[in-house]
Every structure is written in structure tokens, then in C-alpha cells.
């Protein structure tokens, strides 16, 4: 996501950096290109106009252009305004101070509501120490109830449903009563997907809201739908009084228009984002961090946080101690790959690295890790511990065993040897510390 807008904005900023100073003419020229980039990203035209007007007003009033480069100043202006339009500050979730909290989830058909309900429950369970109950009130889509039950069970989350029931109001009422008999302190209600023009279903979700009296009502917005997500969210809000938005499918190839338009058009904050198919691919929405990513500046804070949550502390500390001692084998290499894979799709990880979006012709093939693991797994224990013994005949055997070519085996061994040289240099400089605080 955001690749198209990143590319366009990078061209604008590169041109601006070539000027010795900011003038009214090159501000106008840059903002024309920014406007075009935003419209092509499917950002709402009213939002684009407001955004451009605010940047133009601030750019012309700035007095610090003489102290730093024009490009740096313009980037700061763009980032500040993008952050503002994305919501400014990170929004906290509203939990009940007494008893249990209720979250009602609503949205269009196919927006990913059921999966998002489980992701949300998993996230709040692991990050806020909540004991959630999922109520399966989506009785319109075939197998929706079963999907929720299976996903909930896989993630050790309690769920409630009524077999062969066609009355969603009854399911919600009995689900709430059921929650009172256990230690549940959070109820998440999954409702049926509905078009905002379907008056009968819209009344149903309003009735559900009246029954459960939610602390939060989240609208699930599919980032792939662009500006249409804004129209739907506005209509849903007129029925439900939405308190926040969860933006799904941010790992897709959407142009980013929904993310940049929703807050300004609806007045409702984006509170969470879904970034992949995995239940763990879900996080709090941080406007400033997202603005940095849109501008190709990366998101180091989120990258470190993701590493802290994903990495196994004992494995990392053991690896660091071995590296400090100058020990690095193919077994160590494999363990590092396993840790990286826990962080999610490689493309998502690399999008958080500052400047990565500017690199051209980089092929992020997610299968590379599988192939590397297959080659390492085809080695004997002795070969993993002492790679120097891997001669020509051994390489042929490893290639056959892994289903890869000898050339690929050779390439992996070459990369491994280069890494060993780099590790030795770091060891000699005594510059090898644990990069993350797991405390």
C-alpha cells in the first residue's frame, strides 16, 4: 500500500531539493504535483483541497526556510499536515470502568468483519489482559458463525452462538447473559455485513446496538474500496453513532485514499489497522507513524515494537552471545530466519525501513525464506555446524534434497560467508549489543 503515492511524492521532493531556496512559484509547482498524487491515490477531492490549502498557507508563512534545506522544510510541512488529516494523536480504546465492556462491529459485506473481530479479541487479550467473549450474531452469511467459532477456538478465545437460530437479537441477548456466568470482561459482537441502503438490516444492527449498549462501535472499512468506504461509513454513522474505524487489508495494493480521507470526512478516528491475513497482523493506528510511511520515511518505532512482540527473547539473547563469541553457523542462520518470519510478510516489514521505498528493482520474494530453510534442512548437522566441509559433492546432495539448484546452494553459502566476515568485523570493533529491550 502507498507505493504509488510514495513514488509520486518522492519525485516532488527530489525536484524541490534541487532549488536553492523556496519561492512562491516552486511552492505552487510542488503543490500541483502533490494534489495530483493525492487525487490519483483516490483521496476525497474535498480533503485534497483542504490539505493543499493548509500546506500552501503554512509554506508561505514559514520563516525558517533559510535555516534548513527547502526539501527538508517541505517534508516537515507535508508530514505535519498528513498527521493532522489522519487524526493527529493516537486514539485510546474506551473500556468500561465497571463490569464488562462491549464492542459492536459493523460494516459492509466482504470487508473482513468476522476475521477482524477475532484479531481485535486476540489483540486486546494479549495487550490489555482482557478476557474476551465473541458473540456470533452474523446470521446472514453462510458459515460466518462457524468461521468465528473455529478462529476463536484456534486462538483460545471464548465464543457464543446458538445453533440453527435466525434471530440475531436473541443471540446477542443470550450471549450477554452467558457472559455474566464467567469471567468475561469484554464482549465483541460480530454483526452481519449489510449495504447501507438495506433499511431492514440497518434497523437490525441499530436494534442490536440498543440491546448491548456498546462502549465502542467500530466500522470496518476495507481500504481496497477507496472513497466508497467514506460514503458507507457516513451512512452507518447516521444509524449507529460510530466511535471509531478499523481499516482492513492495508497489506493489499490499494492506493491509500480511504486512510487519508476517512477521519476528515467522517470525523471518526481510525483506531486499528489490519495488515495481513494472520490473526497477529493487527495493530493500533498511529497517525504520525502512518504519515512517515506515506512519505517514504519509514516507521522505525513500529518496526522495533513488532520485533519486541514477535521475537523470542531467549533465542535472541542466545544468538547475541554466540555472535559476540564469533560463532555463527547455518543453525544460527535458520533461527534468525524463523524470528524474522514471525514479524509477518517481508514487504510489510521493509515498508517500515526508512528510505526503502526509494530503492528500485528490489524483489521481495516471500518464498526466498522457504527456499533457504529447505536448503539448510537438507544439510547434515555436521554441515550446519561446519559449513567449510561442504564440498562439490555435498552441494549436489543438498540441492537434490531441497529441490533447489546447485547454483542456489552456492549463492546461499556465499551469502553466509559474507555474513560471517561482517560479524567478525563487528566483533573486532566490540560493537555488538542486543538491539531491543525485552524488559
| Tens of pLDDT, residues 100-152 | 999 999 988 878 899 999 999 999 999 999 999 999 999 988 889 999 999 99
149's enclosing H/E stretch is helix 144-154
Beta strand residue intervals within 215-299, DSSP E: 216-222, 244-248, 270-274, 282-284
C-alpha cell at 179: 457472559
End-to-end distance of the chain based on CA atoms, in angstroms? Answer: 33
Q: Tens of pLDDT along 213-246? A: 999 999 998 877 766 777 788 888 888 889 999 9
Q: Give the model's pLDDT for residue 350.
A: 60
Q: Give the model's pLDDT for residue 349.
A: 66
Q: Give the model's pLDDT for residue 188.
A: 96
Beta strand residue intervals within 268-402, DSSP E: 270-274, 282-284
Q: Give the model's pLDDT for residue 152.
A: 95
Taken in order of first residue, the domains within the chain and their CATH numbers are 3-86 (1.20.120.140), 101-297 (3.40.50.300), 304-428 (1.10.260.30)
360-371 b/e (C-beta count within 10 Å ≥ 16 → b): eeeeeeeeeeee
Longest dimension (CA), the chain: 72
Q: Give the model's pLDDT for residue 375.
A: 93
Q: Give the model's pLDDT for residue 67.
A: 47
Q: Are 121 and 152 in contact (CB under 8 A)?
A: yes
163 alpha carbon, distance to own chain's centre: 34
| φ, ψ (nearest 5 deg) of residue 129 | 55, 40
pTM for this predicted structure: 0.69
**Sign, CA torsion 165/171/173/175:** positive
Neighbouring CB atoms inside 10 A of 329's CB total: 17
**Sign, CA torsion 391/396/398/404:** positive
Burial of residue 334 (CB within 10 Å: 0-12, 13-18, 19+) is middle
Q: Give the model's pLDDT for residue 70.
A: 61
| CA distance readout (Å), 382 to 96, 125, 319 | 58, 43, 19
Burial of residue 61 (CB within 10 Å: 0-12, 13-18, 19+) is exposed
C-alpha cell at 217: 462501535
Q: Give the model's pLDDT for residue 405.
A: 93
Q: Are 135 and 177 in contact (CB under 8 A)?
A: no
Q: Which residues of the chain have pLDDT under 70?
A: 1-4, 6, 13-23, 60-72, 196-197, 226-227, 251-256, 296-311, 344-366, 426-439
Amino acid at each position: 500500500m502507498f507505493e504509488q503515492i510514495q513514488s509520486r511524492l518522492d519525485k516532488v521532493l527530489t525536484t524541490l531539493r534541487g532549488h536553492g531556496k523556496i519561492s512562491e512559484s516552486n511552492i505552487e509547482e510542488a503543490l500541483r504535483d502533490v494534489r495530483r498524487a493525492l487525487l490519483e491515490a483516490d483521496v476525497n477531492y474535498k480533503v485534497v483541497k483542504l490539505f493543499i490549502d493548509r500546506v500552501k498557507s503554512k509554506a508561505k508563512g514559514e520563516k525558517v526556510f533559510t535555516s534548513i534545506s527547502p526539501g527538508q522544510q517541505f517534508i516537515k510541512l507535508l508530514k505535519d499536515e498528513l498527521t493532522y488529516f489522519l487524526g493527529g494523536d493516537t486514539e485510546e480504546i474506551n473500556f468500561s470502568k465497571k463490569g464488562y465492556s462491549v464492542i459492536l462491529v459493523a460494516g459492509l459485506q466482504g470487508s473482513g468483519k468476522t476475521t477482524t473481530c477475532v484479531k481485535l479479541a486476540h489483540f486486546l487479550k494479549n495487550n490489555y489482559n482482557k478476557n474476551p467473549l465473541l458473540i456470533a450474531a452474523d446470521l446472514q452469511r453462510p458459515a460466518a458463525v462457524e468461521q468465528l467459532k473455529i478462529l476463536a477456538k484456534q486462538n483460545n478465545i471464548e465464543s457464543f452462538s446458538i445453533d440453527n437460530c435466525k434471530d440475531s437479537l436473541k443471540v446477542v441477548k443470550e450471549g450477554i447473559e452467558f457472559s455474566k456466568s464467567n469471567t468475561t470482561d469484554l464482549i465483541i459482537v460480530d454483526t452481519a455485513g449489510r449495504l447501507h441502503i438495506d433499511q431492514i438490516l440497518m434497523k437490525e444492527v441499530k436494534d442490536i446496538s440498543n440491546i448491548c449498549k456498546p462502549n465502542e462501535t467500530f466500522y470496518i472499512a476495507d481500504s481496497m474500496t477507496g472513497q466508497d468506504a467514506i460514503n458507507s461509513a457516513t451512512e452507518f454513522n447516521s444509524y449507529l453513532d460510530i466511535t471509531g474505524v478499523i481499516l482492513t487489508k492495508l497489506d493489499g495494493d490499494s492506493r491509500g485514499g480511504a486512510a487519508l480521507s476517512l477521519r476528515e470526512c467522517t470525523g471518526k478516528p481510525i483506531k486499528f489497522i489490519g495488515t495481513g491475513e494472520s490473526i497477529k497482523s493487527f495493530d493500533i493506528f498511529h497517525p504520525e507513524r502512518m504519515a512517515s510511511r506515506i512519505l517514504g520515511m519509514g516507521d522505525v518505532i513500529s518496526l522495533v515494537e513488532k520485533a519486541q512482540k514477535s521475537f523470542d527473547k531467549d533465542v535472541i539473547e542466545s544468538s547475541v552471545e554466540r555472535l559476540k563469541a564469533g560463532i555463527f553457523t547455518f543453525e544460527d542462520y535458520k533461527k534468525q530466519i524463523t524470528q524474522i518470519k514471525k514479524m509477518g510478510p517481508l514487504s510489510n516489514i521493509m515498508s517500515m525501513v526508512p528510505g526503502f521505498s526509494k530503492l528500485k528493482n528490489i524483489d521481495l520474494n516471500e518464498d526466498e525464506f522457504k527456499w533457504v530453510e529447505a536448503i539448510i534442512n537438507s544439510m547434515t548437522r555436521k554441515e550446519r555446524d561446519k559449513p567449510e566441509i561442504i564440498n562439490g559433492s555435498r552441494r549436489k546432495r543438498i540441492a537434490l534434497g531441497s529441490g533447489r539448484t546447485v547454483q542456489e546452494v552456492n549463492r546461499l553459502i556465499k551469502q553466509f560467508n559474507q555474513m560471517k566476515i561482517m560479524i567478525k568485523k563487528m566483533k573486532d570493533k566490540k560493537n555488538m549489543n542486543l538491539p531491543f529491550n525485552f524488559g
